[in-house]
Amino acid sequence: MSESVYILGGGRTDFKRNLKKEGKTIRHIIIEAGKKAIDDAKIDPAEIQAGAVGNFNAGQFTKQLQLGAFIPEIDPKLRGIPTMHTEAACASGALSVLLGAEWIMGGFHDVVLVVGAEQQKTMSSLDGSDVLGAAADYHNEKPEYGDFMFPKLFGRIAQIYIEKYGATEADLALVAWKNYAHAKLNPLAQMRDADLTLDCASQVSDKNPSVAPPLKVSDCSQITDGAASVVLVSGKYLEKIGRDRSKTARLLGYGHTTDYLPLDKKDAPTFSIARKAAEKAFHMANLTPRDLQGAEVHDCFSITEIVAYEILGLAESGKGVELVKSGATALPQVRTEKFKGPFQIPVNAGGGLIADGHPVGATGVRQVFEAYQQLTEQAGARQIESAKKFVTFNMGGSLTTSVAMVWGRE
């Protein structure tokens, strides 16, 4: 990369909140998360040269777009800077981070504020699912899948995976159980107070009904209001202000790919186009999956986390289930028995989309903020020991847009 990119600070909101009940809107959380990031970075807001906002569908969820115009409301000193809004369904947040990073790599700016945000608790679950359907090939897939398209699309991916590799619903339940257990260690997670036993996660019941076989409610990510933000800076800016590079996180490599929109035109469950994003990220970073100490992956459904293991090369094709069953992707803090295998990589230490929450446009930024916290040893009870290399994987649609980023501490 022509100019190095670092995270100087970050912040996020509590994903358990309901903004509508608070009498607040997406404007308020963009401002809140942005202020937290600037405060954490310990810089004068006047130093920020540009802003990016990741958001999926505020136009339908909240009747509000032109979201970059909320950046100046974070601080009057930001009035007049250029801003942009990125959208790629659930990968909107990661694209905003990439946009900011590429501005810095290209020498256009040295300090960029990135915010990802979504307010989803504005309508019924049925209407909300229709809004989310815009991330699929709506006019072609809606007639086939009907209401609640995305659980059904990923239920189909799960069916394909099970038919090909012999996985079971109980295997999927391990992902949900693990991520709920991780969320208990995260004071800002949406499901931090929820108790999900492995027995409950494994069986269809009144408490955990089937949504789109083989997926149950516990296999699904949350409807969430929330925002996350990071301040990205160049290496030369760090030198200018005298900050220690070893105490922050650096972008080592990234990959960004786009597949066909409809699921039936993709090679599920391999998703070779998504794999290219991961391959590009590792190649740029000159690292392999075995060099990592932690990962944040897009678990919009439990099957997606298993597929993501294989996309990222953490497991071979068809072996993702074995990885989660081994305990390698669980924090030592929550493992029921000591893991003795050769490879250990906690995944979604904060609870992932399933239990931390999934404010769609914020998720990619939240993943990067989590990487920053882990690499700078600020993750508290969920801290991954000796974390020096970390990957984030954010995707939109049915593995349509994929963004992988490798981060490291020097």
- Which among 28, 182, 298, 358 is annotated as catalytic? 358
* CATH level 3 topology of 5-123+224-246: Peroxisomal Thiolase; Chain A, domain 1 (3.40.47)
Instruction: Give the DSSP letter string of 39-92.
Output: HHHT--GGG--EEEEE-S-HHHHTS---GGGGGGGT-GGGTT--EEEE-BTBTH
pTM: 0.98
Enumerate the domain spans of the chain: 5-123+224-246
- Which among 28, 85, 90, 300 is annotated as catalytic? 90
386-407 pLDDT, tens per residue?
Answer: 999 999 999 999 999 999 999 9
**Cα distance between residue 258 and residue 237, in whole Å:** 32
Greatest pairwise CA separation for the chain in angstroms = 59
Q: Tell me, what's the pLDDT at 229?
A: 99
Instruction: Give the DSSP letter string of 309-336.
Output: HHHTTSS-TT-HHHHHHHTTTS-TTT-S
Is 358 tagged catalytic?
yes
Token pair in block for residue 58:
């505020």
Q: Spell out the residues 6+ positions from residue 204 whose beta carbon is closer than 8 angstroms to its own.
A: 210, 216
39-54 pLDDT, tens per residue?
Answer: 999 999 999 999 999 9
Q: Tell me, what's the pLDDT at 2?
A: 82
Q: Spell out the residues 6+ positions from residue 339 whose beta carbon is closer than 8 angstroms to its own.
A: 326, 327, 328, 330, 332
221-262 pLDDT, tens per residue?
Answer: 999 999 999 999 999 999 999 999 989 999 999 999 999 999
Token pair in block for residue 173:
């339940």
Question: Is residue 157 a contact partner of residue 269, using CB atoms and an 8 Å limit?
Answer: yes
141-186 pLDDT, tens per residue?
Answer: 999 999 999 999 999 999 999 999 999 999 999 999 999 999 999 9
Residue whose token pair is 């070893």: 246
Please, what is the average pLDDT of the chain?
97
**Cα distance between residue 243 and residue 72, in whole Å:** 26
First-to-final CA distance of the chain: 16
